[in-house]
Amino acid sequence: MIGFMYRMARNPTVAEDLAQEVFLRVYRSRQNYEVSAKFSTWLYRIATNLAANYARDTRHERPENTVSIDEPDEDTGLTVDIPDGSLSAEEAILRRERLAAIRQRVQALPERQKMAVVMHKYQQMDYRQIAEVLKLSESATKSLLFRAYETLRGQLKEFV
């Protein structure tokens, strides 16, 4: 959950606070949980709402040129990308530039598209799960992701 929130907030301290708030909200609203619903969907729905509120409330406070979705967490040192030791120096530089460009473009997506991409690519959630979290139909989720990926493909065509 901290990793998901870090990708949304881009601040490790805020990510920890938001993750803690997610679990507090889960605890406080536990009586509203419907046993027939999947717990992870309910949990990510709460997290997504909290992340969206944070993004909306702090939009004016965040610098626009912040990049990085995958930089190692300062506390755990974990990252989604594992460097390939066989890359030459030139290949490593090109790879870092490409990843930085991807991170920057993902961060610049509209909020719902960014959340859908993060859930799909970084949290490995399927269309159905994302649809439930974002309260969309599965086809609307596919369309949302398609638009996001088309935008990214157009902006990143120099790297493809």
Count Cα atoms within 13 angstroms, Cβ side, for 148.
24
Binned at pLDDT 50, 70 and 90, residue 155 comes out as confident
Give the amino acid at 115: M
Give tens-digit pLDDT for 9-35.
888 899 899 999 999 999 998 888 888
Q: How far apart are CA 39 and CA 120, in angstroms?
A: 18
Task: Give residue limits of the domains in the chain.
Answer: 2-159
% of the chain at pLDDT higher than 90: 25
The three-point CA angle 75-79-80 to 5° equals 150
Name the percent of the chain lying above pLDDT 70: 80
Distance of alpha carbon 117 from alpha carbon 149, whole angstroms: 8
Sheet strands (E) in 62-155: none
Per-residue CA distances from 64 to 77, 88, 93, 109, 126 (Å): 25, 32, 23, 12, 29
Tens digits of per-residue pLDDT, 40-73?
888 888 888 888 888 878 776 655 444 455 555 5
What's the CA gap between 58 and 145, in Å, rounded? Answer: 24
Q: Which CATH architecture has domain 2-159?
A: Orthogonal Bundle (1.10)
